[in-house]
Structure 1
Amino acid sequence: MIIAVASGKGGTGKTTVACNLAVALERPVTLLDCDVEQPNAHLFLHPRWTGSEPFHVDVPEIDAERCNLCGACQEICQFNAIAILPEIAMTFPELCHSCGGCALVCEEDAIRWSKRLVGEVRRGWRGLVTFVEGRLRVGEAMAPPLIRKVREEHAPDGDLTIIDAPPGTSCPVVTSLWGTDFALLVTEPTPFGLNDLELAVGVVRKLDLPMGLVINRCDIGDRRVHDFARRQDIPILLEVPFDRRAAEAYARGNLLVEVLPQWKEHMDHLYGRIVEIVRSHGPAARKEPAA
């Protein structure tokens, strides 16, 4: 089973829930940090690193001797990664999505491919938790290819994978959620939390995934998130009140399940609720998103 922990906005406690759930279950779990632009699950998991590898994407290079400047490659590129000028063809590797369309339409066979470094994948472990994170190079805009690479590390069928998804509702989030069994949305009972939760729910519904909510700091704010969940028939699986001790443990980079016993109970209860919903919904389709 693959559980994606997501949120419409940052700062709701998404990574806290993902890390503590992975450790609390006391069973083999693969935890994937797919927030590749700002991975921080390692700050709480403190894994023992076992290795890393660079991650490259294919980008086109145009052979000036073969190119007749016809413009077919520029026309098919929807991301403006190729520009055909009167005397030269230019490529912009940072914009390329590596779809290969330019090579398909080039009748002169002028497209060659090179590798461009965009980030790295790091692996480690802590107890029964296998940990994998993607780390995008500073300034890179193309997170989905690296997220797909991290997603390849999921646990074998029958074991549990937990994905710490990026915040928001953009392409990296969709790439992280696609083909998972359950979307666990972590939110807070504030106007900002509600606004971004509504957007996140829209994305999950488009992907046809079962979902549930965790409302963090549930005793601070108002009841509009609760009312929204009731209207949309979205189950609230866990409500966590504000706790100064939890905030202090978080600030020190400690796992709450190891500091506060009630968090172990919270996570066990949460996982049980998720399993019930997934079983009633049926298996998710294992598809890969488009580039």
Structure 2
Amino acid sequence: MKIAIASGKGGTGKTTVAVNFALAIGNAQLFDCDVEEPNCNLFLGVDLEKQEDVTISVPEIDAEKCSLCGSCAEFCRYNAIAKLPQRVMIFPKLCHGCGGCQIVCPENAISEIKRPIGIIEKGVDLGSGISLFQGTLAIGEPMATPVIRQLQAHINENRVAVVDSPPGTACPVIATVSDMDYCVLVTEPTPFGLNDLILAVEVVRQLEVPFGVIINRHGSGDDRVEEYCNSEDIPILMKIPYDREMAVLYSEGIPFVQRMPQWEKNFRALYREICSMSSNTSSGESCSEMSI
């Protein structure tokens, strides 16, 4: 069972939900796919070990073979190659690694080299049995999706995977959510929360991933998020209150399920509810095997 925790905007409590959800399930995998600023481990504090580098293939031009025909630059839709009067220039950070330039080169003057753009790390929380996988995009790199895809390649289909998505609705979110069995959209009861929730709903509907909504800091705003969900037949999975004790625990980096047992029960009940709503047969089987 692969469950993404996503949000239309940052700051809604997405990572808080992901960490507490994974802890409540127990013996789960937790994937921090917010690779530009991973922060799940602020709440777990496990020792992370590097697993591998993330690289993409970028072209390298053999100037002696190159005839300056310009076929490579004409082919590239990302403007990563420019033909100048005396040479061909490569802009590695614009390259998407498709390899098309190498194919269209009539002189076989293009080869590929690997360029590192990030790393994958792993740690285990011995108390809960959670395996935390974290991807980190290197500073200054513009493309998060290759890191996300390589990170998700570590998902063990035989275990529950809780996936902390990047915020927003751009390419990194689509790369994270598109292969999930279920998506939990975390929002807040504010005008900004509603606006960005609507955008996120449109994305997951296009991806045809079943989803529901958690309203975080419930009671701090108005009822328009609930009214929208009701009008669109979107299940409201949980309402997490605007609570001082939760806020204090958050500020101390303590997941609130560890100090508030009722919320551990609530998240376990949420997991069972998601299992019952998922149309994926294999996911349903894995849910029924969980002794929660």
TM-score when normalising by structure 2? 0.93
Alpha carbons 1:9, 1:167 under 8 Å: kept: yes
State whether structure 2 residue 49 is matched by structure 1 residue 44. Answer: no
Note the aligned Cα RMSD (angstroms): 1.3
The Cα of 1:282 is off from its aligned counterpart by: 5.5
Q: Report the Cα offset of residue 262 of structure 1.
A: 2.2
2:175 counterpart residue number: 175
Structure 1 residues 161-183: Cα deviation after superposition (integer angstroms, max 9, x where no partner)? 11100000000000001111001
- Could you report, residue by residue, the CA deviation over 1:94-152 in whole angstroms, capped at 9, with x for unpaired residues? 01000111111111111111121211111111131111000111111010001001000
How is 1:222-237 mapped onto 2 (pairs within 5 angstroms)?
A: 222-237=222-237
Shift in Å, 1:283: 6.6
Following superposition, the deviation at residue 266 of structure 1 comes to 2.0
Unaligned runs of 5+ residues in structure 2 are 284-292
> What is residue 77 of structure 1 aligned with on the other side?
76
- Quote the residue 2:199 is aligned against: 199
Number of residue equivalences: 281
Secondary structure of 1:158's partner? Answer: coil
Task: For residue 264 of structure 1, report the CA deviation from its aligned partner.
Answer: 0.6
1:150 matched residue in structure 2:
151
Residues in 1 aligned to 2:204 and 2:250: alpha-carbon distance in whole angstroms = 28
Q: Which residue of 1 aligns with 2:276?
A: 276
Q: In the alignment, is residue 159 of structure 1 matched against residue 185 of structure 2?
A: no
Give distance in 1, aligned partners of 2:99 and 2:78: 12
Determine the C-alpha separation between the residues in 2 that align with 1:183 and 1:283.
17
Cα distance, 1:250 vs structure 2: 0.4
Q: How does 1:90-105 map to 2 (within 5 A)?
A: 90-105=89-104
Instruction: Name the SS of the counterpart of 1:135 in structure 2.
Output: strand
Q: Secondary structure at the match of 1:265?
A: helix
2:219 is equivalent to residue 219 of structure 1? yes
Separation of aligned partners in 2, 1:228 and 1:151: 32
Distance 1:283 1:167 in 2: 28
- Cα separation, 1, equivalents of 2:195 and 2:214: 16
> Structure 1 residues 143, 234: CA separation in 2 closer, same or farther (over 3 Å shift)?
same
State the shift of 1:53 in Å.
2.6
Q: What is the rounded CA distance, in whole Å, between the counterparts of 2:278 and 2:138 in structure 1?
A: 36
In the alignment, the residues of structure 2 paired with residue 224 and residue 100 of structure 1 have an alpha-carbon distance, to the nearest angstrom, of: 48
Question: How does 1:64-143 map onto structure 2 within 5 Å?
Answer: 64-127=63-126, 128-143=129-144
Deviations 1:41-80 (A, max 9, x none): 0101112324443222111111111111111111121111
> Shift of the alpha carbon at 1:220?
1.1
Question: Structure 2 CA distance, aligned partners of 1:25 and 1:205?
Answer: 26
CA contact (8 A) 1:21 1:267 kept: yes
For the Cα contact (< 8 Å) 2:25–2:268, is it kept in 1?
A: yes
Name the structure 2 match of 1:17. 17
Q: Is 98-107 or 49-58 further displaced after alignment?
A: 49-58
Match of 1:58?
A: 57
Contact 1:7–1:197 (CA under 8 A) maintained in structure 2: yes
Give yes or no for contact 1:51–1:124 (8 Å, CA) kept in 2.
Answer: no
After superposing the two structures, state which structure 1 stretch, 90-99 or 48-57, moved more.
48-57
Matched letter for residue 54 of structure 2: F
How many percent of aligned residue pairs carry the same amino acid? 48
Q: 4+ residue stretches of structure 1 with deviation over 3 A?
A: 281-284
In structure 1, C-alpha distance between the alignment counterparts of 2:141 and 2:49, rounded to whole Å: 25
Structure 1 residues 280-291: aligned runs within 5 Å: none
Q: Is the 8 A contact 1:168 1:200 kept in 2?
A: yes
In the TM superposition, what is the alpha-carbon distance from 1:270 to its structure 2 partner?
Answer: 1.3
In the alignment, structure 1 segments of 5+ residues that lack a partner are: 285-291
Aligned partner letter, 2:48: W
Mapped to 1, the partners of 2:232 and 2:97 lie a distance apart of: 38
